[in-house]
Amino acid sequence: MTDAPKSRLRPATIAAHAAGTTDKASGGVVPPVHFATTFARDADYQPVNPDNVYLRSHNENVRVAEKVLNALEAAEDTLLFASGMAAIAAVFRTVPNGASVLVQSQIYWGTTKWIRDFCTRRQIMLHEIEASDINAFSQACKNHRPALAWVETPSNPWLRITDIAATAKAAHAVGAKLIVDSTAASPVLSHPLSLGADIVMHSATKGINGHSDVLAGSLATADPDATIWSMIREDRDCAGAVLGPMEAWLLTRGMRTLPLRMREMSRNAMALAEFLADHPKVEAVLYPGLSSHPGHAVAARQMTGGFGPLLSFIIKGGAPEALRVAGRLQVFHRATSLGGVESLVEHRHTIEPHTGIPEGLLRVSVGIEDVRDLEADLSQALGQ
């Protein structure tokens, strides 16, 4: 495994073998957890291990997880953070006061809220645009000449699809960096860096970990020598937005089954999307795997192996009926988040009531259960 050329290894092999990492000291096939926060120096006051001085910047378990994710992402460098929001914050803290940024509208509400607050504090001009409309996005780039552009595809909870290659071209034409939040796709289903993105971000809490027991975020780049990347690395190390050893170890363990989980979740989600699309009580299904989805052709071109576990559907009857259906579900857990092995349902209007989310929209994260059980649960909850 460790001697095989990287180009010959496919994602399932990279993940299952944790990118070739073993415990060299014991011979164990599973890397150990290193809890030490500080590291010894010799009699000449030189580090015993020159790579390790203090845990905040030198975390062996984080290195292992970054190595796996870097290989899956086909990146040149990857950094892990204490959360997805910490990763987002590190990116935006590279933007100078008074600059301009372009951010896709109607994405994850936590991202939008933090960016709005941050830009207000720093006198940064924020322009929100529907990035799935490439003409509107391109014109906004020309009009505002942003320092960076931020897009999310597939978007949460609208499942809108943004053409990464086209947005990268538009951003680069005005000197902007393109950052892509690819959380809903994971590195298994989409590779934004290969399509021209400068940095790809994930809330690793979600599908990358896959077990709803780790809070983490990641950034990966194709250009580790870029000034923005050096700033991000320094910000993480100095500000301390780092991942702990146990969380990094759990993240590595979760990634070992990432391709398998994503394949099964995508299959289940596709089957449920088709089932819901034909249900008389469902007004609309938002899932890029459906040929009726406006972004289907782009998604089919830039996603491989499936369309992900996230889908939304709008129930006829508004909030009362949507809440009734959510309350009747027995297999789906009523909870926030996505990408875990268990299926979740969320009434997004309750969570973000002032953002234009339809009152009848339910967002589901489809897990790895038997799809027949999931379909039966939705069927009994919806009724006839």
287 is catalytic: no
Per cent of the chain over pLDDT 90 is: 84
5 pLDDT band, cuts 50/70/90, is very low
CA–CA separation, 185 vs 309, rounded Å? Answer: 8
Determine the longest span between alpha carbons in the chain, in angstroms.
Answer: 78
| Bridge partners of residue 285, in order along the sequence | 313
96-105, 160-169, 253-262, 351-360, range with the lowest pLDDT: 351-360
Strands (E), 143-214: 148-152, 177-181, 199-202
Read off the pLDDT band of 15 (50, 70, 90): confident
For 23-77, write each residue's pLDDT tens digit: 777 777 888 899 989 989 989 999 898 888 888 888 999 999 999 999 999 999 9
Please tell me the distance from the alpha carbon of residue 194 to that of residue 201, in angstroms, as a whole number: 14
- Per-residue pLDDT at 231: 98
Peptide linkage before 157 cis (omega within 30 of 0): yes
CB 375 within 8 A of CB 271: yes
| Cβ(132)–Cβ(297) below 8 Å | no
Domain 6-255 has CATH 3.40.640.10: yes
How big is the CA angle at 162 (ends 156 and 164), to the nearest 5 degrees? 125
Strand ranges, E, within the chain: 77-81, 100-104, 125-129, 148-152, 177-181, 199-202, 217-221, 282-286, 310-315, 333-334, 344-347, 361-365
- Look-up: residue for tokens 């089919």? 300
Cα 71 to Cα 168, 173, 301, 303: the distances in Å are 22, 29, 22, 17
Burial 36-53 (b: 16+ CB within 10 A, else e): eeebeeeeeeeeeeeebe
Give yes or no: 67 in active site: no
Give me the pLDDT at residue 4, please. 42
Report strand pairing: 100-104 vs 282-286.
unpaired
Residue 103, strand partner residues: 128, 150
Query: What pLDDT is attached to residue 159?
Result: 98
Tens-digit pLDDT profile for residues 206-237: 999 999 999 999 999 999 999 999 999 999 99
Measured distance CA(275)–CA(286) in Å, rounded: 12
Active-site position among 77, 163, 181, 235: 181
214 close to 69: Cβ distance less than 8 angstroms:
no
Residue 303 has pLDDT above 90, yes or no: yes
Contact of 164 with 180, CB cutoff 8 Å: yes
State pLDDT tens for residues 241-254: 999 999 999 999 99
Q: Which ranges in 74-210 belong to alpha helices (H)? A: 84-92, 109-121, 134-144, 164-173, 186-189
Q: Given this model, what pLDDT does residue 52 score? A: 85
pLDDT in tens, 320-330: 999 999 999 99
Tell me which H or E stretch contains 93: none
- The SS3 assignment for 372 reads helix
Across the chain, mean pLDDT equals 94
Helix (H) or strand (E) holding 83: none
d(CA 223, CA 231): 13
Number of helical H runs and strand E runs in the chain: 14, 12
Q: Can 236 be counted among the known catalytic residues? A: no
| pLDDT score recorded for residue 24 | 76
108 belongs to the catalytic site: yes
> Which of 214, 178, 203 is closest to 193 using CA atoms?
178
What pLDDT is stored for residue 1 in this prediction?
37
d(CA 347, CA 324): 10
Average pLDDT over residues 150-161: 98
Higher pLDDT pick, 16 / 196 = 196
Catalytically annotated residue among 56, 145, 253, 328:
56
Least confident of 54-68, 138-152, 281-295: 54-68
The active-site residue, picked from 67, 160, 177, 206, is 206
CATH of domain 258-382: 3.90.1150.10
In the chain, domain spans? 6-255, 258-382
Q: What is the pTM of this model?
A: 0.94
**Single-letter amino acid code for the residue at 122:** R
User: Residues with Cβ < 8 Å from 274, sequence gap 6 or more?
Assistant: 290
Task: Check whether 165 has a pLDDT greater than 70.
Answer: yes
Question: Does 2 have pLDDT greater than 70?
Answer: no
